[in-house]
Structure 1
Amino acid sequence: MEIKCGLATPSDLLGRSAPRLLRNIIGKYGRDEMKPSIETAKKLANALEVSLDYLVGDAELKVFDKKTLQRIEDIEKLPEEERKVIYKVIDSLLRDAKTKQAYA
């Protein structure tokens, strides 16, 4: 399983304080020497705050952190008129930020 967590090595996500055995297991996942169960992979994805698709390298779209995904899901649950207002505000803020970057 190729781990895409943006760290120097997969075991870096645990830090030096993690038990050596646990660091070795995570390293084996990263080197495809060992495959985690689906439950273990889900827990690892949750700990890294990424989707399971992203963790295994199958995500085709840009992957967002869990907070961003939750915000999108919350917005989608709102009535259409409220969603339109929120997206209009977001679009305005994005336009302003892009303009600011262009002239910086």
Structure 2
Amino acid sequence: MCFYVLKRTGVDKILDYSCGKFEIMLLIAGLRVYTSLVLVELVKNKVMINQRIYKDSCRELDRKNVKDLAQRGRNLWKVVIVDDNPNSYAFQPQNTIQITIYTHYLH
């Protein structure tokens, strides 16, 4: 299987900075079979991801997949979601840092 991963500008820098300072859980609303391959490329040579959580761990709300931090068993005062999709963090908007949608066009 051949695919490409285009990283958002700064993602390596923020992951390197966060490593060892924070527990990092990647909660991805995609199918495990696809996103696990993408994550391998995203965090290549980095040992920093404490948990990888996929679509099957999301809850459904109005036919949309929603990440629910309450199900992770963490103190919500110490947890943030970084996401570009408001549907993904509908249960804990107060814990969210909303980022812009990333698009990269190949020339």
Assess same fold via TM > 0.5: no
Structure with bigger strand share is 2
Q: TM-score, normalised by structure 1?
A: 0.21
Structure with bigger helix share is 1
Q: TM-score, normalised by structure 2?
A: 0.21
